[in-house]
Amino acid sequence: MPITRLMCAALAVAAFAAPMAPAAYAQSQSKTVAITAIVEHPSLDAIRAGVIESLKAAGWTPGQNLKVEFQSAQGNPATAAQIARQFAGSKPDLIVPITTPSAQTVAAATKDIPVVFAAVTDPVGAQLVKSMDKPGANITGVSDMAPVAEHVALIREIVPAVKRIGVLYNPGEANSVALVSKLKEEAGKAGLAVVEATATKSADAQAAARGLVGKVEAVYVPLDNTVVSALESVIAVGQQSKLPVFSADTDSVGRGTVASIGFDYTQVGRQAGDLAARVLKGEKPGDMPAVLAKGTDLYVNPKAAAAQGVTLPDAVVKRATKVVGQ
Amino acid sequence: MSEIAFFGAIEIGLVYALVALGVYLSFRVLDFPDLTVDGSFPLGAAVAAALLVAGANPWLASFAAALAGAAAGLVTATLNVRFRILHLLASILTMIALFSVNLRVMGRPNVALLTQETVLTPFYGLGLPDHLVRPLVVLVIVVAVVLLLARFLASEFGLAMRATGANARMARAQGVDTDAHIYAGMALSNGLCGLAGALFAQTNGFADVTTGLGTIVVGLAAVIVGETVLPARMLVLALIGCVVGSILYRLAVQVALSADAIGLQASDLNLVTAVLVAVALILPRLKAAAGGAR
């Protein structure tokens, strides 16, 4: 008896939900884009707005020839997995997962629906793409890896005499290790050498920073939890030795690094939206290189710069999004 | 609801059925409210992922994940039994500690398993579509666990464990070593959660430190929904109830995910899920009340 009741319940659930299958709404000319994020918070919502903005610019207007579905897992990865399967089953023209766990559940759920991810820091490490240039399969997207190339360019602009960049990080943090290898690549392209200094705990950061004095012309602090939590001790070394300290994140500029370039998340979304528009026009995601997010927010701290022995060029201050430390 | 979404919900329901069985053991059999599961579930995922990336055999990795979960359960039991810390607090302490442990085990917050060999790999490409293979493999594991658990709880040791939860003082008077049964029960309960975490990581292609969030709520909901739709006095039926409850919970989430068609937003998901589960709980009572009035 309970078994039959149970089956009735399951059938009722299925019957109730069947007419809601989004595929039923798909029209011949219009496209369906399914977007999912692990949670809803301002940065991720800005990405979603940016995606829709770009699609609109490319000629797909929501409500006219574009149907946008959105699901938030509300912080729960099991729900994210269910959302991924719901999308795999409703067969939209494109799925846009935002953040790493959402992208991984979608990648596990479908091998044929095109996918354009956004805000995945390390798409290769997350096994979403084979390489940034040739993603392969059905997936491409935008990585929000720090814009290291732009950071290197900024350091060269502010410290023209730079030959060697010192980088201070904890080798136990996977994210930092990835950033440092990126830094070596980008610095190499610019003809600069990278000198590494490591600190496995916050208390070692100052000693590691001192070790760089005399060996480098600028110090770069990646988004490393260990070093950033001891940032003041590094900045103290910068002031004592007139060695400018740069950071990968814009928040640290307020604490006393010279300058940084960070993201505007709407812009990250627009980049993903551009890729999405190309997919809707018929390009294969696997052939489209995954791109790095462009940094657009420039934070500068003239007071910190002066204390660390450099002057910010007027051009840099003029185009800064925010001048802090006044 | 599409076929893929439907079987996806069943698959995730079956994975979480192992959590529900674990919660049934601690919450119902031992009368021990245990929040360790929010940590032992991602611990299982972390251990399995770390071992799979290192090239271990998937079954071995899943077994190690279960052992790691069991060890977490033993820590909570030790804090409670040996050091007399209140069970809720003891389990919260273990849970928050496990967050750091999980980061250490994985070395970073997220480990991808999209290209690793898993327990499912040998079953793909046998002719069935992937979205059926996954729930079938998990179903076999869940059935095996239910049978073993039913057998265990009917054994002399299992009966003593049930006596420990039902009335510890009387159990002790009968010569039962209640402490030993709390240790064993908590290890078994969290071992099941660790195994669930390992299966979740393998069916979804990643382990993430945030995977544990709300596991206890889902487990409890599954146990209670199961008891409601399958009110049973027989132990094996109660265990099946946990499995059924877990699947129904996931189907409820799946329905809630389609709720935008009736004007609800994505942000309403948790509310809709809660309402659906509440309705499932209230309906049988209303029916019973109507029957009583007649």
Q: At what angle do helices B3-23 and A77-90 cross, to 10 degrees?
A: 160
B34-63 pLDDT tens trace: 999 999 999 999 999 999 999 999 999 999
CB spacing of B113 vs A6 below 8 angstroms: no
CA distance A51 to A71: 15
Contact A16 B200 (CB under 8 A): no
What's the average model confidence in pLDDT over A229-237? 93
Does A225 score more than 90 pLDDT?
no
Contacts across the A-B interface (CB distance below 8 Å): 155
What value does the mean pLDDT take over residues B261-279?
81
A115: β partners: A95, A139
Asked if the domains at A29-144+265-292 and A148-262+297-323 fall in one CATH topology, the answer is: yes
Chain A from 157 to 186: CB within 8 A of any B CB: 172-175
- What is the distance between the alpha carbons of residues B212 and A206, in angstroms, rounded to a whole number? 36
Taking the whole predicted model, whether its pTM rises above 0.90 is answered as no
- Looking at residue A325, what is its pLDDT? 79
Indicate if the pLDDT at residue A16 is higher than 70. no
As given in the structure block, the two tokens for residue B106 are 């994985």
Distance CA B215, CA B33 (A): 13
Range A8-29 average pLDDT = 45
Average pLDDT for residues A47-69, to the nearest whole number? 94
Q: Does residue A85 have a pLDDT over 80?
A: yes
What residue ranges do the domains of chain A occupy? 29-144+265-292, 148-262+297-323
Residue located via tokens 């709404």: A25
Which residue in B11, B210, B230 is closest to A77 by CB distance? B210
A contacts of B267 (beta carbons < 8 Å)? 40, 72, 74
Tokens of B27: 């919450």
CB-nearest to A175 from B15, B108, B254 is B108
pLDDT at A37 over 90: yes
Taking the CA atoms of A71, A73, A79 and A81 in sequence, report the sign of the dihedral they define: positive
Q: The CATH number of A29-144+265-292 is which of 3.40.50.2300, 3.40.720.10, 3.30.420.40, 3.30.70.100?
A: 3.40.50.2300
Q: What is the mean pLDDT of chain B?
A: 92
Angle ∠(A57,A62,A65) on CA atoms, nearest 5: 90
The enclosing H or E element of B136 equals: helix B130-154
Q: Do B8 and A107 touch (CB under 8 A)?
A: no
Which of A172-181, A290-299, B11-20 is predicted least confidently?
A172-181
**A188: Cα separation from own chain's centroid:** 23
Lowest mean pLDDT among A108-117, A241-250, A305-314, B206-215: B206-215
Give A270 or B253, the one with higher predicted confidence. A270
Q: Calculate the CA dihedral of residues B173, B150, B236, B63 and round it to 10 degrees.
A: 130
**What's the CATH fold of domain A148-262+297-323?**
Rossmann fold (3.40.50)
Q: What pLDDT was estimated at residue B292? A: 64
A214-223, A277-286, B125-134: segment of lowest average pLDDT:
B125-134
E-only strand ranges, A56-101: 66-72, 94-98
